[in-house]
Structure 1
């Protein structure tokens, strides 16, 4: 397979791959349904000519200097500016088993990866971290728990755990207690006319999830895919060779990925992007009655699921309901009074009636013309054996008229062994999920419990698919349900089958002792600076402290404004607490409170409004300018955890320095927490956990914008910043549940980021020709592209995953990753030396990040006498960076036993 293509030909490669797959069977003239029940075989064949690949089934990729994007928002929605411009005022500036492995394919070609799941397989599951901690805190080799069936999947390195908690311990603290159910503050006006309509949303008056995986079903033309992992679903709406109006099911294997051009500068020459072809329509669940008058509706939308409903027309009592959830083991269609049609735009090669795995459920084995094997399970409500036959249309397998019951589809990569796994769960399906969680001391647990429906639910376990980060944290009981079936996901490596009605995951070593001071995974918070460092910090602060914070923060962007408030809050804390000089910090603290009050009073340039359509607090910029892309799409619910996280962080510091400030501002700050990261599912004003995806273990930044590649996120560090801000605001405001939730979110992020976004040499979830990029850039649900929305400079792409540098940075960014990234990208002999970076404040970002692994070099950079403040971006200060690096420096000195812990 051609792996490295030129920038202008990704579509050509996608098309050629499809033709190559089809080349062995383009002239095939028949398909058969055979019966193999009780060893008997029989029956009919129908002649036809295969048409593959289907016309108009692949998107045309557009090439430009910004990358491969699919909507105007993705191509043009983010301005080509730094994400933190310097304010335009005088600052006083002076100076195997289907796993991605390194193993070649059996053909011996170095360009192929092993993707076949073997029926009898003994490999290793990533059931635990590669290090465990002895009672003395020393890393010890760990032994994964044994299982009856073991699988190939990666184990990721983690940092040495931090010291024991220094703050008050928690004992079984519920992490999902309600923040508040109060109405939004009265000075925030309500809007009832959001520019994005709610397409096909029915029976819903509660808040609608705007940033979840199923949003494409109610956006745009409602035909772009929803990525449930391992499957993707899309409304065919008359497209493809089958010209179906049903729900198309697609699954891509590793060898179907399309790769971008190789870097000529990054070591190892990694590819710039990879993506999964869309529009393949392997199987389609439809009905004879569906056609041009058909409608698609969504209902019962939660943080984990939605019901997608196809009807022949508005008002029809006939329907197919698809409960869609991430990780679902089957694609399930619940038919009501329709004649089922199972279709394929890839076409059927063979269909076998294969008996009944349990009373009332009937099985069919399907092989498509791309040689992929699928299973279909039919459970009629009346219990009678259904009769499926091919129609005159050779793409269509038709069932009985007036059918009511469930039809389930699953891809089987593992032969008879895989089929036996699916048989155990056939007839039941997940309808939705709930989450619970608790923290005790420095250990957090969270449980996903699936609501199970179907045939014989009491005696039939539920089949779901788990990601690598799930398996690494499963408790012993959950691990016991793992099965030897894996399917490739679009951007998260392999998913592994699991028979269990609930999953419990444990996260040890929560950063419970992390505060506002520099923090180390080994030594916790470092709040003591040497006299020399304190003097250096205070000297730097003279150029950065100002009582007029409002002049810098009263901007036309919630994002930029929040960054400025967070910057000054961190600066004030550094001077007040780390440098132990409250008097010097006092005037700027007062100015910070006044600037913050402008937003609480809703007097900023674009005040907030409460959107009563989708239920959330958004910038009025989109309504005033009639441009939904304003402020990075805030009005369309893009990036709320980024934007509001900075305000929450600033509030946490202000409240910690002046507890009397909290009560008057608590409702407004809690409103932001509820909008971006609500803990309650019954809040009438905001949805549950808008941004953070508790299944994926990280947030999605994209809101109400249709996207052929699904949701995405560009900045993992700002994702972690939001979790850290929630933790610290909870601590400041006395909300123990919020504090515990922030700690747990950080721990989950630490694990998921190292698995999927921040790629070390041993990463097994991303393609091996991509991991040399070190960061994914923009990770979509269907592709990863090593770029940004605002430019292609390497410091932009890597740096947006670094900023803001906060105490949480050293927790979520493994030291081994940081060192590998620095050595390959920014060291003096690397491809883009940090010393030569001239792009605004990015140089400061790179050297602040350097403090995680080399604090001496970082501190020396910021301390130099000829320092130029233009090296600091508008969302940070030299003063904090000096303290941040010095805190890490003290850690290193303490480890060496030098000079009593001073620099």
Structure 2
């Protein structure tokens, strides 16, 4: 029975491969298999996503590419992305708030001042002693920025030790078995597949993917496989006919392809691979003949590298192909000491191979079989491989840069006024380094923002990336990107691109806010914030900080929020003192601050925080709350700044020489957005589900930097928002005409979960349309109009949530309804206002991480009232 299944699977794959022009030539052995399976059902092994049975992924013979498409949770919780509270415990004084299940905004003409005067302090509360700052002195407040002039965005956040009450632990559940470094480890970077689990997961440098074969695949090779996937080889999910345009649910690149393999005849089951010199942009994979052996191949893996490079030491090179060689031609020497081969393989693609022997002698590679190209014994030197889609002109560019390769990347940047610029540069090694330029691949958002000098070095070589459109080869050791119109004027108040910050709301809006706020201020802040999750607790602290700010500043009533403000500070202190349900620990293995929830044996606790999942999501809420508290009460900063800065250093450290935290754990300065996945093995690489919480972290550090006087952090937050505004609208938020995602997918409007190797229009916690789209909306904050463009929001609303759409927002239940209507404020603030101001408002429409008061202020500030 198993043999029949395998034959059917093989037949299914071959049919797909033939359609994709994967294998235009089928050998006699395959032909005989086809004859023997002619009566079998090829549909019995159709790709299932998610799997229709209990198996986690589809079985296909190892001799062929594997479409691994199951949605692995990998620490991502199936819980909703906001805390849910029992309605009876939602607010103290529930009967006041929900009398007749409503709170109706008054239509009287009473002034905001008289409404504020009638608001009484709830019984049993303590009136705070001491002053509360009523407004931030101009011009230094977050809503009134000073002009920056060449501000370096990468100055240290802090250099001190971890707060004393965060205890160190050396027993992290994920052991470091394969990384050789004493430096902090970048847990969320593109090369994690080198050291996690089986060590066989791909490293996505873009446009190439590399993976250790480790004795697998059709060739049972022990080398490093290189693949590049053509558009015709994608696997697509079923169409969603409820969405206009009938987009497919997902697309995925095949895993297991071995177009070419760097190997050596000496490699076998005794071979081992370690990771060395990991940084934010690079790492070395070192493949040794055996543990401790000096015979090894070092692979410098750098984001955007133009060639896959292997540095051999005393081994007999074996270049293999799981797709099979059609023709290998010695193509001369582009420069003395470099030997070139033109390689055609059976999928109709052409690759170039450049060998640079240490001794300068011709290596005289020999094609010994359809799958093996062999070099000389005891070879030391460099071998480089590149795919050439551009014919003779492309070959000239590759020739010109052959022999050198990047070893690591660097980032620098500055902000002047509302214009930011940042540069990516690379250290290079190889032959004739001084006179040979690098060739590196840029992503679409890079190309769009190149300065004129960098634009002049763009070539005609273009290769498809796995999930970000086409990469373009650029000549040179550095690029400079410019982001104009940074959102430097965004603060705590509602903001729009056309009118800036709304520091003052209309009298009618103030009146409505101050009628509703007293009831929402009665919520049990300590109970709602002291939860068993850093994520949920952070959202609750942010919610109440935003509520206090709204009443204090936008409602212009300090007294009304005084008690809630004091309770908020006490609740925040619970975390600063590390007395929450699951205290933080400093992990000395990977070097970071993590929740202790996952030390119990279940790494899925708290959304995988212990294993470094989602730290920018979780900690961004704490940082934003702290920015508000500190701006309203500057005296509070002295005792709390160190702890908040520790969270910033963990999730978004600004320097590479901090001995306690890695540089920029979450934000990927090459890809232009963050990755949420931490220390979980993943066949499809890193991923991110919530672009809006990614931007929340950038927004939070921008305001925390302003509040604390850290100009570098503020500028870095502005720059990150500028980059995110560009990258998200290239890759995640898809307007009509988007060319970076497949045409049959873009009508989904949002990607859902974007991995390095696949994109799936779903969430980890459910497939409701409001979940999938809404997780890219929340939290709705002043920066939301900057990163969620009006035209995108309009197209998404009309396609998904308008009254005549498949999922009208008016028919959505629970807290997601509030999210959708708050998002509506970006394009129709009056309709949003009317929703939140309506009589008989149902508070089940407000999620546990938001307030009706803020949503009203948000809509009003955008022009709703």
Query: How far apart, in 1, do the equivalents of 2:147 and 2:72 lie?
Result: 44
1:868 aligns with 2:842: yes
Output aligned runs, 1:636-675, within 5 Å.
636-675=611-650
Output aligned runs, 1:44-123, within 5 Å.
63-64=50-51, 74-75=72-73, 77-88=75-86, 89-91=89-91, 92=94, 93-94=97-98, 95=102
Query: How far apart, in 1, do the equivalents of 2:339 and 2:539 lie?
Result: 58
Give the CA deviation at 1:341.
Answer: 0.4
Query: How far apart, in 1, do the equivalents of 2:423 and 2:549 lie?
Result: 37
- Contact 1:189-1:609 at 8 Å conserved across structures: yes
Which of 802, 815, 820 is the matching residue for 2:790?
815
Structure 1 counterpart of 2:213: 236
For residue 485 of structure 1, give the secondary structure of its aligned residue in structure 2. Answer: strand
Which of 450, 462, 485 is the matching residue for 1:486?
462
Which of 222, 225, 230 is the matching residue for 1:245?
222
1:788 aligns with 2:763: yes
Q: Deviations over 1:712-768 (max 9, x none)?
A: 000000000000001000000110000000000000000000000000001110001
1:536 aligns with 2:512: yes
Structure 1 counterpart of 2:539: 563
Give the CA deviation at 1:542.
Answer: 1.8
Structure 1 counterpart of 2:116: none
Query: How far apart, in 2, do the equivalents of 1:741 and 1:602 lie?
Result: 28
Q: What TM-score, normalized to structure 1?
A: 0.85
- Contact 1:619-1:634 at 8 Å conserved across structures: yes
Give the CA deviation at 1:11.
Answer: 10
Unaligned runs of 5+ in 2: 1-7, 35-44, 58-67, 103-141
1:750 aligns with 2:749: no
Give the CA deviation at 1:86.
Answer: 2.5
Give the CA deviation at 1:394.
Answer: 3.7
- Contact 1:546-1:591 at 8 Å conserved across structures: no
Aligned-residue RMSD, C-alpha: 2.2
Give the CA deviation at 1:90.
Answer: 3.5
Q: Deviations over 1:557-582 (max 9, x none)?
A: 00000000000000000000001001
For residue 425 of structure 2, give the secondary structure of its aligned residue in structure 1. Answer: strand
For residue 542 of structure 1, give the secondary structure of its aligned residue in structure 2. Answer: helix
Output aligned runs, 1:49-448, within 5 Å.
63-64=50-51, 74-75=72-73, 77-88=75-86, 89-91=89-91, 92=94, 93-94=97-98, 95=102, 166-202=144-180, 204-391=181-368, 393-448=369-424
Q: What TM-score, normalized to structure 2?
A: 0.89
Which of 671, 678, 682 is the matching residue for 2:653?
678
- Contact 2:621-2:700 at 8 Å conserved across structures: yes
For residue 211 of structure 2, give the secondary structure of its aligned residue in structure 1. Answer: strand
Structure 2 counterpart of 1:741: 716
- Contact 2:504-2:554 at 8 Å conserved across structures: yes
- Contact 2:691-2:776 at 8 Å conserved across structures: yes
Structure 2 counterpart of 1:138: none
Give the CA deviation at 1:240.
Answer: 1.6
Query: How far apart, in 1, do the equivalents of 2:23 and 2:305 lie?
Result: 32
- Shift of the 460–403 alpha-carbon distance from structure 1 to 2, 3 Å rule, reads same
1:520 aligns with 2:519: no
Q: Deviations over 1:446-478 (max 9, x none)?
A: 011110111111111100000110001001111
Q: Deviations over 1:278-320 (max 9, x none)?
A: 1110000011111110000100000000000000000101111
1:609 aligns with 2:608: no
- Contact 2:326-2:370 at 8 Å conserved across structures: no
- Contact 1:165-1:442 at 8 Å conserved across structures: no
Query: How far apart, in 2, do the equivalents of 1:777 and 1:411 lie?
Result: 31
Q: Deviations over 1:195-216 (max 9, x none)?
A: 11113212x1110000000001
Output aligned runs, 1:580-595, within 5 Å.
580-595=556-571
1:841 aligns with 2:839: no
Structure 1 counterpart of 2:62: none
For residue 718 of structure 2, give the secondary structure of its aligned residue in structure 1. Answer: helix
Query: How far apart, in 1, do the equivalents of 2:686 and 2:453 lie?
Result: 32
Query: How far apart, in 1, do the equivalents of 2:28 and 2:310 lie?
Result: 30
Unaligned runs of 5+ in 1: 1-8, 30-47, 53-57, 96-163, 891-902
Query: How far apart, in 2, do the equivalents of 1:68 and 1:789 lie?
Result: 15
Query: How far apart, in 1, do the equivalents of 2:622 and 2:308 lie?
Result: 41
Structure 1 counterpart of 2:17: 18
- Contact 1:351-1:364 at 8 Å conserved across structures: yes
1:851 aligns with 2:838: no
- Contact 2:75-2:680 at 8 Å conserved across structures: no
- Contact 1:13-1:258 at 8 Å conserved across structures: no
Query: How far apart, in 2, do the equivalents of 1:285 and 1:50 lie?
Result: 31
Query: How far apart, in 2, do the equivalents of 1:290 and 1:50 lie?
Result: 32
For residue 573 of structure 2, give the secondary structure of its aligned residue in structure 1. Answer: helix
Give the CA deviation at 1:71.
Answer: 9.7
For residue 74 of structure 1, give the secondary structure of its aligned residue in structure 2. Answer: coil
- Shift of the 11–677 alpha-carbon distance from structure 1 to 2, 3 Å rule, reads farther
For residue 575 of structure 2, give the secondary structure of its aligned residue in structure 1. Answer: helix
Query: How far apart, in 1, do the equivalents of 2:845 and 2:467 lie?
Result: 35
